Structure 1
Amino acid sequence: MALLLHIDTATSYAGVCISRDQDVIAIRESAEQKNHAAFLQPAIEQMLQETGIVMQDLDAVSVAAGPGSYTGLRVGLASAKGICYAAGKPLIPVNTLQIIAAAAMHSPEAAGREEQLLYCPMIDARRMEVFAAVYNHLLEEVVPPAAFILNNESFSSLLAEKQVLFSGDGHFKFKEISGSSNAIFTDITHSVRNLALIAGNRFGLQQFADLAYSEPFYIKEFFDPAAR
């Protein structure tokens, strides 16, 4: 049975959980963005004490690797790599946009037609800019992650052919300016549980990162949502 630790501090939300064969057995969450560093280690220690698990029991550690907050990404990846080095465990980095897209697939707006939609998670990057990507229902890239300056023609070629479900804290900007009937919007928020499901699948496929060379996926050199 795979026993995994999951860490997500990439956005204003922070969450950690432990899963056994993709079933979450302990979880801690925080919405205090400026306290991610203070939240993380005590939360992990509390979960280990609660479950009686020690680091050596883990099979791997997953982390939301970006894009997102520069500071949050550094906090999450540094902690994940430290645990992996200390316990001799593999690392599973997951793109933050994939995690947000996975949450959108479980939204009321997607219910019953998950395979028919495309999914466009958006992370607010100040002004009219977002970090975004487009995925199908298998979380395969249709449009790779990038920084986008939004206008009313954004994603027009996709929207001309298919319905796209927009999510994440950056989708509100596009909702205000998009006039496409194929643009659908959901307010559902992601959690570390979504990371756990993706990482569990990747563990089964032995999709691990090179621990020494793993870095946050910033897209841009620096992003701090507190500086808006």
Structure 2
Amino acid sequence: MSIILSIETSTKGCSTAIHQGAQLLALSELFHEKSSSGMLTTLIQHVVKVSGLDFEAIDAIAVAKGPGSYTGLRIGVSTAKGLCFTLDKPLLAVNTLQAMAWQVYSIAQAINTNDIPLLCPMLDARRMEVYCALYRANNLEQVVATEAKIIDEQSFAEILETQKIIFFGDGAAKCEAVLGHNPNAIFLKETINPSARSIGVLAHKAYQNSQFEDVAEFEPYYLKEFMATTPKKAL
């Protein structure tokens, strides 16, 4: 059964995990206001030690490919690729939003509704813009592709006329004031952060299907070009 080391650095948080098949062996997470990806190497060493394995026992490296923080994704992917080259292991990549949707899968099924709701993971992309996608709650089939979306009162209006949507993630909080009046819009109260826990589960499926990335050519899924800000010069 495959043993996969997973890395998640899409946001300010940072997490690593070891899975044997779909079973979680070890998990280490940090969530800070400031980026915690600088602790990534320490977290990797920790989960390998806690799992009772060594690096040679790992069959593949999995990484959250984005969307998310430009800096966080760059660090996570660079680290994953470095491990792949060093250990001569294959690389697996998982969409960050899909992994978030996996976390809410069981919660969505418990909601008392005759209709199958849609899951909408959201990551904050500054101001009223979010990274989001839509998945079916019963099978995680993607029905709307990953996109950078500016939220206003008309967002998701056509879909919300006939279907319930469960919104979650750090981008959902700022959208509730705009969309929360709609009875078909459900906002989870609990915080859902991207996690290596779910990256590993989805990576296991990708491993079984031999969905490996080209280690040399692979790049994070930034979705938008990086926009650097420079301080204004004093007059």
- Which sections of structure 1, spanning at least 5 residues, go unmatched? none
Matched, 1:218 2:219: no
Question: CA-atom RMSD, angstroms?
Answer: 1.9
Residue 6 of structure 1 and its aligned partner are, at CA, apart by 0.4
CA distance in structure 1 between the partners assigned to 2:86 and 2:182 by the alignment? 51
CA distance in structure 2 between the partners assigned to 1:223 and 1:162 by the alignment? 36
CA distance in structure 2 between the partners assigned to 1:91 and 1:140 by the alignment? 23
Q: Name the CA shift for 1:70/1:47 in 2 (closer, same or farther; >3 Å).
A: same
Residues 50-99 of structure 1, C-alpha deviation per residue, up to 9 Å, x if partnerless?
33422221111111111111110011000111111111111111111111
Q: Name the CA shift for 1:106/1:14 in 2 (closer, same or farther; >3 Å).
A: farther
Matched, 1:111 2:113: no
SS at match of 1:106: helix
TM-score of the aligned structures, taking structure 2 as reference length: 0.88
Residue 183 of structure 1 and its aligned partner are, at CA, apart by 0.8
Q: Name the CA shift for 1:223/1:117 in 2 (closer, same or farther; >3 Å).
A: farther
Sequence identity (%): 38
Residues 21-76 of structure 1, C-alpha deviation per residue, up to 9 Å, x if partnerless?
11111111101253533311111112223334222211111111111111100110
**Match of residue 184 from structure 1:** 186
**Match of residue 201 from structure 2:** 197
Check conservation: 1:94, 1:195, Cα contact below 8 A.
yes
- Which sections of structure 2, spanning at least 5 residues, go unmatched? 229-235
Residue 110 of structure 1 and its aligned partner are, at CA, apart by 4.3
Q: Aligned letter for 1:144?
A: A
CA distance in structure 2 between the partners assigned to 1:37 and 1:207 by the alignment? 26
CA distance in structure 2 between the partners assigned to 1:94 and 1:193 by the alignment? 12
**Match of residue 102 from structure 2:** 102
CA distance in structure 1 between the partners assigned to 2:110 and 2:206 by the alignment? 25
Check conservation: 1:69, 1:223, Cα contact below 8 A.
no
**Match of residue 169 from structure 1:** 170
**Match of residue 232 from structure 2:** none
Q: Name the CA shift for 1:182/1:195 in 2 (closer, same or farther; >3 Å).
A: same
Check conservation: 1:135, 1:142, Cα contact below 8 A.
yes
Q: Which segment drifts farther, 210-219 or 134-143?
A: 134-143
Structure with max Cα Rg: 2
Check conservation: 1:130, 1:150, Cα contact below 8 A.
yes
CA distance in structure 2 between the partners assigned to 1:62 and 1:219 by the alignment? 19
TM-score of the aligned structures, taking structure 1 as reference length: 0.91
Higher helix fraction: Structure 1 or Structure 2? 1
CA distance in structure 2 between the partners assigned to 1:29 and 1:80 by the alignment? 17
Q: Aligned letter for 2:213?
A: A
